[in-house]
């Protein structure tokens, strides 16, 4: 993606869900919280900034 390395540590929140059938894992899903990851990389603004920006655009009628 062209993001230069920072050498900083980061955290990725995720959840894994397993469906068990006959005592075995029949399916699994891994859900990764990408928003926080990209915010930590500095690619996206913080959540409060995103909310403020959305509110400003919503009140002005811009999309």
Q: Which DSSP string do the residues of 8-26 spell out, in sequence order?
A: ------EEEEEEEETTEEE
Q: Does residue 37 sit within a domain?
A: yes
Number of domains in the chain: 1
Average of pLDDT values for 25-51?
A: 93
Average of pLDDT values for 4-22?
A: 92
Where in the sequence is the domain holding 30, given as residue range(s)? 14-60
Q: For strands 14-21 and 24-32, give the pairing.
A: antiparallel
Q: Does residue 2 sit within a domain?
A: no
What is the predicted pLDDT for the residue at 26?
Answer: 98
Instruction: Give the contacts of 21 (CB within 8 A, at least 6 positions apart).
Output: none
1: enclosing H helix or E strand: none
57 — pLDDT class (breaks 50, 70, 90): confident
pTM: 0.62
């Amino acid at each position: 993606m062209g993001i230069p390395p920072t050498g900083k540590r980061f955290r990725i929140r995720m959840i894994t869900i397993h469906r068990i059938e006959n005592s075995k894992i029949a399916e699994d899903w891994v859900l990764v919280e990408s928003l926080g990851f990209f915010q930590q990389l500095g690619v996206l603004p913080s959540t409060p900034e995103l909310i403020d920006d959305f509110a400003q655009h919503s009140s002005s009628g811009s999309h």
